[in-house]
Structure 1
């Protein structure tokens, strides 16, 4: 099992002016929904509990997983990032879709989820999967390292969406695709859980992705979806 955690190396200059220091200083990022990931960052997180919540027929994306993978239109040799892989629901089908010449980067901010994906990969002998412990505002992938990014029921958990999307934009090759699946949030129609948990609706999320340098391509209709939507974007 290989787990990647990319770090930045800082160059320390011994002689610089106060003006330079002021210019290079950056304000700390502001969370768009503080605490949204608190339960996932619990060091005592019970992975089995989340498997029971994520990998169950009552969850739309679990029920529709074959339709979703088909609509991604992955080709042998493609490199895809499963952003917020969670318990690794899509790791095996992605691995099979991209073939031995392709690659799957399974990203998550939760060490125990990353560890689980590594174990799954070993057990199933998925030689083209790399679990990645990413940051809350940085996917930690090298520039131009992926052809596609898959964000499924995860974007509303981005605390720093502009920074996370900027790092994804760098990681995806020009013309590469980004898939966004999330919950419809419509006051008066959506469940109370959705209204309280998901910070914004489809149009807001679409605009944020477009503002990050992606071109909207289409909304794909998934027959099994009642609460979710599937948007496809292209990296400019």
Structure 2
């Protein structure tokens, strides 16, 4: 018990100190020349990328069924799909949480929100709610979310400290933050380096906001499933 209290105190202390953002003379053209804890932040995908998000090959490349299995859903959960895009995961998750659950489909782009709303209406989905976020605020209700899911999104967030601090507040005690990110540790993964993320980098960035590493699931061909949690306070 004392050990847990000590770990919690360290996490809370770390969460109070925001690391600075930096710029550098040389940077990746696919980045925004904004650095956070040694990592350059990448440009995000615009609405023109919807065909890429919906591509049939994604089923084999990213294996969404394995991602959903790793969430170990029981039904009734509130899940925030942050950076939902066109809803690739949103509409796969909706039937899994059932009528008593809810999917919060969060995106920063009006075009993506409009596309989500069109698909909600077309498919008569009743347990999906759209949220228009900002660069620094996911606009999630406090202590109300069981799981926040980001699929190939976190490395593009322009204000990672602010967003993750808000997510920690939005998670219920014991709630989980799940990242799907291309494995930076594997040079054979055919994606630009700036769009990859290592587990050690994620651990470093999550420790700052008081989220603990729970486990990493490596069942996907190219990506980590990295699971962090808000401590049960």
- TM-score, with normalisation over the residues of structure 2? 0.76
Partner residue in 2 for 1:110: 109
Query: What is aligned with 2:16?
Result: none
Q: Deviations over 1:17-57 (max 9, x none)?
A: xxxxxxxxxxx9764346713x52xxxx43xxx23212224
Establish whether residue 128 from structure 1 lines up as the match of residue 127 from structure 2.
yes
Aligned to 2:9: none
Structure 2 unaligned residues grouped into runs of 5+:
1-19, 23-33
Taking only aligned residues, the RMSD between alpha carbons, in angstroms, comes to 2.4
> Does the alignment pair 1:228 with 2:223?
yes
Structure 1 distance, partners of 2:100, 2:109, is 28
* Equivalent residues in 2 for 1:1-236, closer than 5 Å: 31-32=34-35, 33=40, 36-37=43-44, 40=46, 45-46=47-48, 50-59=49-58, 63-186=62-185, 188-191=187-190, 193-195=191-193, 197-198=194-195, 200-222=197-219, 225-236=220-231
Q: Report which of the two structures shows the higher radius of gyration computed on alpha carbons.
A: 1
Tell me the distance in 1 between the aligned counterparts of 2:141 and 2:62. 33
Q: 1:106 to 1:175 in 2, by over 3 A?
A: same
Q: Secondary structure at the match of 2:146?
A: strand
User: Could you tell me how far 1:208 is from its partner in structure 2?
Assistant: 0.7
Alpha-carbon contact 2:84-2:107 (below 8 Å) kept: yes
Q: How many residues align?
A: 198
**8 Å Cα contact 2:61-2:221 kept in structure 1:** no
Does the C-alpha gap of structure 1 residues 121 and 187 become closer, same or farther in structure 2, counting only changes over 3 Å? closer
Long gaps (5+) in structure 1: 1-27
Structure 1 contact 84–108 (Cα < 8 Å) conserved: yes
- Output the TM-score relative to the length of structure 1: 0.75
C-alpha distance in 1, partners of 2:60/2:171? 24
Deviations 1:60-95 (A, max 9, x none): 676411111122112222101001001100112211
Contact persistence 2:83–2:150 (CA under 8 A): yes
Q: Which whole-Å CA distance do the structure 1 matches of 2:164 and 2:177 have between them?
A: 10
Deviating above 3 A after TM superposition, structure 1's stretches of 4 or more consecutive aligned residues are 28-35, 57-63, 186-191
Contact 1:57 1:63 survives alignment (8 Å):
no
